[in-house]
Amino acid sequence: MMSEAEKKDADAPGLPRSKPDAVPEYDTGTLFAGRREIVIRHAGSDYRMKITKQGKLILNK
């Protein structure tokens, strides 16, 4: 049985789901925080993720 704090954490928008084996989900509104572009660092490289004018996502190295 989940405590009230665990329920709040599980339902918080933009946070990964707490189910075991579930793929984490992130809301773009949370990630981008009003911007059109973010940088993701992976294995020593920077990747730029952009929201296009059509509302699609593009990831470039």
Return the pLDDT at 4. Answer: 56
Round to whole Å and give the CA distance between 41 and 12.
Answer: 25
36 DSSP assignment? S
Return the pLDDT at 20. Answer: 78
In the predicted structure, residue 54 carries a pLDDT above the cut 80:
yes
Q: Where are the domains of the chain?
A: 25-61
Return the pLDDT at 21. Answer: 84
Kind of pairing between the strands at 57-60 and 37-42: unpaired
3-class SS at 45? Answer: strand
pLDDT tens-digit map of 4-50: 555 555 555 665 556 678 999 999 999 999 999 999 999 999 999 99
This prediction's pTM: 0.61
pLDDT band of residue 58 (cuts 50, 70, 90) is very high
3-class SS at 58? Answer: strand
Domain 25-61 has CATH 2.10.70.10: yes
